[in-house]
Structure 1
């Protein structure tokens, strides 16, 4: 399709980027630590580390890995929430020339075993809260080395002792476990400080991250994201945000976990590149604590998913925060709902920008330009050097303005799924990645997600997109969250069922249906409403429609 979006680019944004601008992420890191050595890089639980300290600690960890049985190209798993140990481990693994395998700490034993075996991980860095899960499966994996850390281990004494004591003995967050041949993360750093670090030669085609897809459809697969893929995406993101940020001066709030591709790239890698601070939030589900922490820092950027923004807006004290330094807030990972975006703008005075990406694209594909005056419901414009086409079920391009499956081509698209040739061929069509998302494009080149192909509800031959039903539902002031799914029906094939979390306990099924009927065509109106105290979500806050359907 014609690249109409290029005409809408802000003047400062180039049409293309050079994915080979830097040989690897190692050089990006080295440049930043040299340029911004004394700047704060990461803050967590009130303690900060500078780029100089991050350089020293990650080098120690890289040296330890290189001198203790691991080779360049080996996979190292990292399983923890947002703690200072996380970026130290990530950059240590990359600087050793090895592959990072990010693991969700809330995985069950079955999920963990699958990912460790599938990625061929040789070592794992894990926080002791989740070590009991590892203990169940380690005997069935190829993991040879366990590096164990505790929540407070990177904090100075006596705070370190207090945090670790409270986590284990007061909150009882560390279930008992038995693991052999364990080395503590801090011991590994101490050993590494006295060992030789050998700077590896890394090619752009080398795998930097084996990033596992959420596994909400079928088995979880490892997307092979190369150094070149990540460099390309950093260049693409930079092209859009460079005009509004000051290198070395920004503070980004990182509430989404770093093991998620969105936070990993949009927060960690991007803001390290620009020599800026990352405020790591360990437990964003504690909304009161999160808001209290936000009150202590002059934050300039914030990323999140719709549920996070919605949660903040509904937490007492959030609207009283100082938003004068905020430059942008970016939503991704799931659709941003209009009522949430409009309330965000009203409360903070800033537009909630929406972007779109997926693990297989490192992840950013489109983003709204920072000069957007108001939320427009779109996922934005394709980032530089990115091509998009919309196709029908036969693979033919659809007419202008019509919805079709979005196919993506660009230097940020993964090398494929690790050891899954068939799955790679299923998603890659003649060099184009099939996203499984139905989108349409307007005359300016803004793209709009209509819905996930697989979540589409078919009522009497008519397509019903869950996003539309959900967005209408949450317009009701008594509804906090909603999820729409299709359920089988004799007459119409499927009907719409709506799961609702309500703030108004007097709200009835009849009220919800009447509200939806005001805003939706008959066949789109939910026929069944089920009230829930909460909706099932992934750890990053995506609502799991499949779990509700099942």
Structure 2
């Protein structure tokens, strides 16, 4: 069967979803098909960095499904997976969905205290860990929970594996979690159909040549990982899954494996451009593909200056210097990026432009009453899409609070221009109201600083309402490697900002990356930074005898 015919058949198969992708491919394409996945760790004696074929994957998954089944895991059981390697995450996901259980995938970087609290919210039937994560969770048992080391599961007898569970489209297929930037990460449910909806759409389109060999620098627990894996297997794309998203490690993997596409989050790109890109072989890259938070222009421009792109011309194609960068905005709850825009060295539509919606998405900019706003007005982003999560696991209150007028409220503030392009300005929780009906949007301010101060590699803007009429802003910046802090840095930062925002700036502080608190997925935890600012100002006021001082 040709790949084109297989893709068409998969797109038309209404029983296909994220819960049965592997078994469907084995049945339709056979175990000798070209699809497969490469991991950066050994799998059942199979060396790291060597592709596992469909046959290899099917055997590894069957062994684990048999072991889980013999251990008592049954259909519809939620099973937490807190492990280190991408291989363990992906194979556990496939094996549990073969049984019909619901894998709850935890980010490998989640600390023990947070993980315990999160598991208390999920209430899993079983917990799969490795030695490192069991130690992190501590010795206190989880009452009523079957616990096992993930390494044991590889010893199952594949002949005892149950047959593929038959999913209904609305069945829960996997639980992932939000970034946890404002508190405890929220468990996000994805259904068999919802997390496959965007892949089904892509299978109806021509297979793009820019993603024939894809490196995933995504956290292996994330919904985006499930999408990347299912898209790759269904499209005959070679896929490398990395277990760590550290910038140097990602660049070293690109140098070694020579992908045509690199898939990652916005938090990864500043780590890449902080390095000397000329030291790595990056010419194979045709596309950098971003999801999650929108990426910054300063980082995009550096990445599209390396690699190459192929453009059609009369009688053939041209190979031009400089890759493309596919940007968008997505989240675990959205199930897939809702927007897309492609940047090249020649494009200049930035200022946090996230592009236009995918054809499967209906989007609106809503006011506080849930009514649509016209072009040019900033409001909260509302989404209707077949990719949407059906809700939060064990949390119907939060599920219903995020719905308004039939839309899912993403928590993002955006606006639309007259040409139909959308722009992201901030998260609702990070925006502060100023006098005169103006607002301070922290993400938009960060964009302005990065665009106006080339010596700044990355920055975080923290805005705190000190009282009803006073807002204080603190700007935390990291500088390009080896670059000294300019004597006029504070003046330059203020000059890059809108006048009404610049007037609120109390301090500009050069920090190291380790000084910034990040969530498990790499997002900055601004809520913690705001609390730290309030504590410092309170201490300063107490030391001054009750008179607040500028910090």
- TM-score band by shorter chain is 0.7 to 0.9
Q: Select which of 200, 203, 221 maps to 2:168.
A: 203
State the partner residue of 1:69.
Answer: 72
State the partner residue of 1:470.
Answer: 446
Q: Cα RMSD (Å) of the superposition?
A: 2.7
Q: How much does 1:468 deviate?
A: 2.2
CA distance in 2 between partners of 1:236 and 1:388 (Å): 17
TM-score normalised to the size of structure 2? 0.82
CA distance in 1 between partners of 2:220 and 2:377 (Å): 36
State the partner residue of 1:233.
Answer: 198
Any gaps of 5 or more consecutive residues in structure 2?
1-9, 41-47, 308-321, 532-551
**Secondary structure at 1:60's aligned position in 2?**
helix
CA distance in 2 between partners of 1:238 and 1:309 (Å): 28
Q: Cα distance 1:454–1:288, how it changes in 2: closer, same or farther (>3 A)?
A: closer
Q: Cα distance 1:484–1:29, how it changes in 2: closer, same or farther (>3 A)?
A: same
Q: How much does 1:295 deviate?
A: 1.5
State the partner residue of 2:485.
Answer: 507
State the partner residue of 1:543.
Answer: 524
Q: Deviations over 1:323-373 (max 9, x none)?
A: 2x4332111222311111112112330121111111112132222268996
Q: Cα distance 1:466–1:371, how it changes in 2: closer, same or farther (>3 A)?
A: closer
Q: Cα distance 1:66–1:209, how it changes in 2: closer, same or farther (>3 A)?
A: same
CA distance in 2 between partners of 1:185 and 1:112 (Å): 22
CA distance in 1 between partners of 2:345 and 2:454 (Å): 27
CA distance in 1 between partners of 2:344 and 2:306 (Å): 19
Q: Cα distance 1:122–1:372, how it changes in 2: closer, same or farther (>3 A)?
A: farther
State the partner residue of 2:101.
Answer: 98
Q: Which has the higher contact order (CA 8 A, sep 6+)?
A: 1
1:232-381 pair list within 5 angstroms: 232-238=197-203, 242-245=206-209, 250-265=212-227, 267-285=228-246, 287-318=247-278, 320-323=280-283, 325-348=284-307, 349-368=322-341, 374=347, 376-377=349-350, 378-381=353-356
Judge which range, 468-477 or 413-422, deviates more: 468-477
Q: Cα distance 1:492–1:513, how it changes in 2: closer, same or farther (>3 A)?
A: farther
Q: Deviations over 1:127-155 (max 9, x none)?
A: 22222123434x23432131333xxxxxx
CA distance in 2 between partners of 1:371 and 1:309 (Å): 16
Q: Cα distance 1:372–1:56, how it changes in 2: closer, same or farther (>3 A)?
A: farther
Matched, 1:415 2:390: yes
CA distance in 1 between partners of 2:390 and 2:215 (Å): 30
Q: Select which of 53, 75, 88 maps to 2:56.
A: 53
TM-score normalised to the size of structure 1? 0.82
The number of residues matched between the two structures is 489
CA distance in 1 between partners of 2:11 and 2:87 (Å): 32
Any gaps of 5 or more consecutive residues in structure 1?
1-16, 150-183
State the partner residue of 2:142.
Answer: 140
Q: Cα distance 1:39–1:363, how it changes in 2: closer, same or farther (>3 A)?
A: closer
